[in-house]
Amino acid sequence: MLFLIIKRILLGFVTLFIVSIITFVGTEVLPGDACTTYLERQAFGEQLEACYRRLGLNVPAYERYVSWALNAIQGDFGYSLSGEMPIKDVLGPRIKNSLVLASAAIFIGIPIALILGIITALWRDKLPDVAISTVTIFAMTIPEFISATLLILIIAIWLEWLPGIVIVPTDVSFLELLPNIILPVVAIAMIMTAHMARMVRSSVIQVMASEYVQMAILKGVPYWKMVFKHVLPNALLPAINVVALTIAWLLGGVVVTEVVFNYPGLGRLVIESISNRDLPTVQALAIILASIYVSINLLADLLTLMLNPRLKTLQIRK
Amino acid sequence: MTDIIQKVKNLSIGFRSKKGEEILILKNITTNIKKGETVGIVGESGSGKSTLALAMMGYVKHGLYTIGGECQFNSSNLLKMKSKDLEKIRGRKIAMIPQNAGQALTPNLKIGYQIDEALQLHSDLDEREREKKISELLNKVRLPSPETIALRYPHELSGGQQQRVAVAMALAGTPDLLLLDEPTTGLDVTTQAHVLELLNFIAKDTGTSMVYVSHDLGAIAQVSDRIIVMYSGEIVLEGPSRDILKKPIHPYTHGLLKSIPKLSLAGLPESMPGSQPQPGTIQGGCSFFDRCNFSDDNCKNNSPKLEFLKDLNTSVRCFNYEKLVNENEVSQTVNKIKNKSLDKEILNLSEVSISYAKQKLLDQIFNRISDENPTVKDINIDIKKGETIALVGESGSGKSTILKSIAGLLRTKDGLIRFDEKRNLSSDLKGRDPNDLRIIQLIFQNPDESLNPNHTVEEIIAQPLKLYFGLKGEELKKNIIDLLQKVRLGEFYTSRYPRQLSGGEKQRVAVARAFAAKPDIILCDEVTSALDVSVQAAVLNLLQQLKEDFGTTYIFVSHDLAVVRAISDRVAVLYQGRLCEVGPSNDVYKFPSHPYTEVLLGAVLEPDPDIKPKLVAEDIVEERPPEKGCSFQGRCSRIVGDICKKEIPPWQLTDSGNAIRCHIPIKELQKQQF
> All domains of chain B, ordered by start, with CATH?
345-568 (3.40.50.300), 580-673 (no CATH)
CB atoms under 10 Å from CB of B65, counted, come to 14
Q: Is A218 in contact with B88 (Cβ distance < 8 A)?
A: no
On whether the CB atoms of residues A226 and A217 are closer than 8 A, the answer is: yes
Query: pLDDT of A57-75, one tens digit each?
Result: 777 778 878 887 888 777 7
Is B318 in contact with B286 (CB distance < 8 Å)? yes
Residue of B nearest to A211 (CA): B104
Contact predicate B50/B89, CB 8 Å:
no
CA distance A231 to chain B (A): 9
Predicted confidence at residue A191, as pLDDT, reads 85
pLDDT score for B177: 93
Nearest to B108 among A211, A221, A234 (CB): A234
Comparing CB atoms, the residue among B103, B122, B156 nearest residue A212 is B103
State the Cα–Cα distance between residues B490 and B481, nearest whole angstrom: 8
Closest residue in chain A to residue B174, using alpha carbons only: A219
Residue B656: what pLDDT?
76
Is residue A313 over pLDDT 60?
A: no
CB B426 within 8 A of CB B432: yes
What pLDDT score was predicted for residue B328? Answer: 59
Query: For chain A, what percent of residues have pLDDT higher than 70?
Result: 90
Q: What is the CA radius of gyration of chain B?
A: 26
pLDDT classification of A311: cutoffs 50, 70, 90:
low
The whole-number pLDDT of residue B636 equals 85
Burial class (CB in 10 A: 0-12, 13-18, 19+), B244: buried
* pLDDT at A265 (0 to 100): 83
Complex prediction ipTM: 0.79
Kindly list the residues from chain A whose CB atom is less than 8 angstroms away from the CB atom of residue B98. 211, 214-215, 218
B38-42 and B226-231 strand pairing = parallel
> Residue A34: helix, strand or coil by DSSP?
helix
**Residue B483 near residue B516, CB atoms below 8 Å:** yes
Contact B107, A310 (CB under 8 A): yes
Task: Please spell the DSSP secondary structure of B148-164, one letter per residue.
Answer: HHHTS-GGGS-HHHHHH
SS3 B641: coil
Kindly report the pTM of this predicted structure: 0.81
Which of the four CATH numbers 3.60.15.10, 3.40.109.10, 3.30.230.10, 1.10.3720.10 does domain A92-276 have? 1.10.3720.10
DSSP string, B105-173: S-TTS-HHHHHHHHHHHH----HHHHHHHHHHHHHHTT-SSHHHHHTS-GGGS-HHHHHHHHHHHHHTT
Contact A310/B at CB under 8 A:
yes
**Residue A309 touches chain B, beta carbons under 8 Å:** yes
* Structural element, H or E, at residue B7: strand B4-16
Looking at chain A, the domain(s) classified CATH 1.10.3720.10 span 92-276
Closest CA to B182 of B218, B157, B138: B218
**Is there a contact between A212 and B90 if contact means CB atoms under 8 Å apart?**
no
CA-wise closest residue to B560 among B512, B601, B598: B601
Residues 193-222 of A with CB under 8 A from B: 209-222
Mutate to test the interface with A, among B84, B106, B623 (most CBs of A within 10 A): B106
B118 vs chain A: nearest CA distance in angstroms? 7
Distances (CA, A) of A229 to A306, B147, B442, B466: 17, 22, 45, 55
The beta-carbon neighbor of A234 closest among B57, B107, B121 is: B107
Asked if A234's CB is within 8 angstroms of B106's CB, the reply is yes
Give residue B325's identity as a one-letter amino acid code: V
At position B406, the amino acid (one-letter code) is I
Confidence tier at A304 by pLDDT (50, 70, 90): confident
Q: pLDDT above 90 covers what percent of chain A?
A: 17
Instruction: Tell me the nearest-neighbour CA distance from B205 into chain A, angstroms.
Output: 22
B335 — phi, psi (to 5°)?
Answer: -90, 110
Work out the pLDDT band at A106, boundaries 50, 70, 90.
Answer: confident
* A220 with B87: Cβ contact below 8 A: yes
| Cβ-defined contact of A211 to B104 (cutoff 8 Å) | yes
- pLDDT at position B3 is 85
Q: Cα(B102)–Cα(B160) distance, rounded to whole angstroms? A: 9
- Spatial neighbors of A174 by CB under 8 A, at least 6 apart, are A100
Rounded Cα distance, A82 and A276, in Å: 8
**Strand segments (E) across B488-588:** 521-525, 553-557, 570-575, 578-584
Which residues are B653's β-sheet partners?
B659
- Closest CB to B108: pick one of A211, A217, A233: A233
Q: What are the chain A neighbours of B59 within 8 Å (beta carbons)?
A: 214, 217-218
Amino acid B323 reads: K
Residue A317 has pLDDT above 70, yes or no: no
| CA distance linking residue A143 with residue A150, whole number of Å | 11
- B-chain residues within 8 Å CB-CB of A217? 59, 90
Verify whether the Cβ–Cβ distance A309 to B155 is below 8 Å. Answer: yes
A230 touching B (Cβ < 8 Å): yes
- The answer to whether the Cβ–Cβ distance between B121 and A221 falls below 8 Å is yes
Q: Characterize B592-630 residue by residue with b for buried, 16 or more Cβ atoms within 10 angstroms of its Cβ, and e for exposed.
A: bbbbbbbbbbbbbbbbbbebebeebbebebbeebbeebb
Q: Specify the pairing of strand B234-240 against strand B226-231.
A: antiparallel
How far apart are the CA of B537 and the nearest CA of chain A, in angstroms? 31
Task: Give the mean pLDDT per block of 10 residues along chain B (674 residues).
Answer: 83 87 89 92 88 92 88 89 89 89 89 93 91 90 84 85 90 91 83 87 89 91 92 92 89 88 83 81 81 84 87 87 72 66 82 79 68 84 91 87 90 88 85 91 89 93 93 92 89 88 89 94 90 87 90 91 90 92 88 86 85 75 79 85 88 84 85 70
- Residue A101 Cα, gap to closest chain B Cα (Å): 35
Test B100 with A219 for CB contact under 8 angstroms: no
Nearest CA in chain B to A232: B108
Task: Count Cβ atoms below 10 Å from residue B139 Cβ, excluding itself.
Answer: 14
Nearest neighbour of A210 by CB, restricted to B96, B103, B122: B103
The B-side interface with A (CB below 8 A) comprises 54, 57, 59, 62, 83, 86-92, 95-96, 98, 100, 103-109, 117-118, 121-122, 153, 155-156, 169, 173
